[in-house]
Amino acid sequence: MRLKYVMSEVMVGLWRNVTMTVAMIITMAVSLTMLGASGLIYAQVKDMKAYYYDKIEVAIFLKPEITDDQRTTLEGSLKSDPLVREVIYESKDEAFKKFQTMFSDVPAVVDAVKPGQLPESFRVGLKNPEQYQAVREAYVGKDGVDQIIDQRNLLEKIFNILGSVQTMALVAASVMAIAALLLVGNTIQVAAYSKRREVAVMKLVGASNWFIQAPFVLEAVVAGVLGSIIGFGALALGKVLLLDGSLSELTDLLTPLSWSKVLVMLPLMALAGTLVSSITAWVTLRFYLRV
Amino acid sequence: MIQLEHVTKTYPKASRPSLDEVSVGIEKGEFVFFIGPSGSGKSTIIKLLLHEVQPNKGRVHVNGRDVTAMRSWKIPAFRRQIGCVFQDFRLLPNRTAYENVAFALEVIGKTKAVARRVVPEVLELVGLGGKEHRYPHELSGGEQQRVAVARAFVNRPLILLADEPTGNLDPDTSIEIMRLLDRINRTGTTVVMVTHDSNIVNQMRRRVIEIESGRIVRDQARGVYG
């Protein structure tokens, strides 16, 4: 009986003020979508770091005039270096072949370069990619070494871009969350006012505080949960239409976004929506209901 | 049953206290009138007994419990032992007489089955048999106050507080309501009534406590309005 009473009060409450309810759900949904998106970017960047940092290498390009002795000494010291995981030598021919396949769809570029023009190099994999600076300092002045390039620099740029997108999403989520918060507060105020007679009688005859407050708090929670479900739908739609659809060429470069990661966002968003709305409702009630 | 010890209550921004060092004891089963001019502080007593306001000084004991020291989460359970009737009835306009009384039961966790058994009984007791399904606007003032009394009494409280219950009623209807309160008092319920209706006080010949400017100026066992 009590549950039925509370639930019917919640439904009546949401319906009585339906425009406000819709506004509350929409802002909540947008805010939670942003939150979910930033969560996804965070998880994705973490995955990509783990995946790529294993594969990236430091390229030590050699001077064209390098002698065989210098090359052997360099290779020897690289192989015995405790920071180094593996060393692969890439000759001028190999570099040219790699170049040809890489730019096979742009014949003009391939034609412009002749075999032997590209420098030979050591491809060095590090045990810990963060120690690039130490490796660079150890080899930068050595005989026959021309240039040392860390591939991580490239990735860092991508991660920086993703990072700022994530920050933007978080900022948008917070701003929308403030709007959602105010709407929840306002809705609760209106609800408390329209039920002031009932609340007065309930207080008078000794209804427990939770019994008086529960319908109001639940009203906000229902809106929060609906908002999170809609937000999750928007996120899933975004994956299907954008990442797997029109932006698929871009996303091929990055590691693919799995459905399991997207699914994890649902309970996360529902939790955030429920917490934000119930706490706001409860705090508002402390001011406007004074039980 | 009710014990006020040196109770002083000054509302914020008020120049003088509403109640000034008031001490009074009311036994179980008594029928007591608090009388006095408007603003004398008599309604404050009802608010103190309901724990709606807190005294600045002194103690309030109700049914053996110190109300002043009571934790806020205990107040609901405490209020279930007290029924309350007001001048303006305070009925829910969109509910019938039956629903208004049943509401008071349902919000304290009683089942619909209990309500179905108890509510018709108490409506019969207050003389509203046959009018259970009327809405407040379809009832006369006296009948509305009967619904309010039924709601206050349905939980069989130990104490019934009445704040000017006849203030909005004509003399004949007032007397009917007083008969009803008298009947409830005879079941053993302590009744505390705040009023400035001299006719009623004179007719009932019950204990009268007169308050003026926050002080008790008279306490008479079978008194008149004076």
Q: What CATH number corresponds to the domain at position A100?
A: 3.30.70.3040
B92 and A205: CB-CB below 8 Å? no
SS3 A142: coil
A197 and B109: CB-CB below 8 Å? no
Q: Which residue of A has its CA nearest to B105?
A: A205
Which of A12, A204, A212, A286 best tests the B interface by mutation, with the highest count of B CBs <10 A? A204
Claim to verify: residue A34 and residue A176 sit in the same structural domain: yes
Claim to verify: residue A41 and residue A161 sit in the same structural domain: yes
A205 and B108: CB-CB below 8 Å? yes
d(CA A226, CA A237): 16
pLDDT digits (tens, 9 = 90+) for A171-198: 988 998 898 889 889 888 888 888 899 9
Q: Where are the domains of chain B?
A: 92-147
Claim to verify: residue A203 and residue A266 sit in the same structural domain: yes
Mean pLDDT of A154-168: 84
pLDDT digits (tens, 9 = 90+) for B139-158: 999 999 999 999 999 999 99
Nearest to B213 by CA among B58, B41, B45: B41
pLDDT digits (tens, 9 = 90+) for A4-37: 777 888 888 888 888 888 999 999 999 999 999 8
Q: Which range has the worst mean pLDDT, A14-28, A92-106, A274-288?
A: A92-106
pLDDT band at A51 (very low <50, low <70, confident <90, very high): confident
**The tokens 């020291």 sit on which residue?**
B69
Nearest to A195 by CA among A6, A2, A3: A6
Backbone angles phi, psi at B22, to 5 degrees: -85, 130
B107 and A209: CB-CB below 8 Å? no
Claim to verify: residue A108 and residue A233 sit in the same structural domain: no
Domain boundary among A150, A178, A210: A150
B93 and A204: CB-CB below 8 Å? no
Provide the mean pLDDT of chain A.
84
Domain boundary among A108, A124, A150: A150
What pLDDT score was predicted for residue A105? 75
d(CA A166, CA A33): 12
The DSSP output letter for B212 is: E
Q: From the list B79, B84, B92, which residue is nearest A198 (CB)?
A: B92
Determine the angle formed by the axes of helices A196-205 and B97-106, rounding to 10 degrees. Answer: 60
The CB-side HSE value for A95 (13 A sphere, CA atoms) comes to: 20
Overall domain count for chain A: 2
Which domain, by its residues, includes A220? 2-52+156-288
For chain B, which ranges sit under pLDDT 70? Answer: none
Is the pLDDT at A124 greater than 70, yes or no? yes
What pLDDT score was predicted for residue A252? 64
Claim to verify: residue A87 and residue A8 sit in the same structural domain: no
Claim to verify: residue A174 and residue A62 sit in the same structural domain: no
Do the strands B159-163 and B65-66 form a parallel or antiparallel pair, or are they unpaired?
A: unpaired
Q: Which residues contact B196 (CB under 8 A, 6 or more apart)?
A: B35, B36, B37, B38, B164
What pLDDT score was predicted for residue B185? 96
Claim to verify: residue A178 and residue A244 sit in the same structural domain: yes
Mean pLDDT of A144-152: 81
Instruction: Please report which residue ranges of chain B form alpha helices under DSSP H.
Output: 42-49, 75-79, 97-106, 112-125, 141-153, 171-186, 198-204
Q: Model's pTM, two decimal places?
A: 0.75
Chain B residues with beta carbon closer than 8 angstroms to that of A205: 79-80, 104, 107-108, 151, 155
Query: How distant is the Cα of A267 from the closest Cα of chain B, in angstroms?
Result: 33
Tokens coding A242: 């954008």
Domain boundary among A150, A181, A205: A150
Angstrom CA distances, A245 to A238, A249, A255, B172, B185, stand at 9, 9, 15, 82, 79
What pLDDT score was predicted for residue B167? 92
Its ipTM equals 0.90
d(CA B95, CA A252): 64
Claim to verify: residue A47 and residue A79 sit in the same structural domain: no
Sign of the C-alpha dihedral computed for residues A189, A193, A195 and A201 taken in this order: positive
What pLDDT score was predicted for residue A289? 73
Mean pLDDT of A233-242: 88
Claim to verify: residue A129 and residue A240 sit in the same structural domain: no
DSSP assignment of B17-63: -SEEEEEEEE-TT-EEEEE-STTSSHHHHHHHHTTSS--SEEEEEET
Query: How distant is the Cα of B80 from the closest Cα of chain A, in angstroms?
Result: 5
Tokens coding B44: 């404050």
pLDDT band at A251 (very low <50, low <70, confident <90, very high): low
Q: Which residue of B has its CA nearest to A6?
A: B107
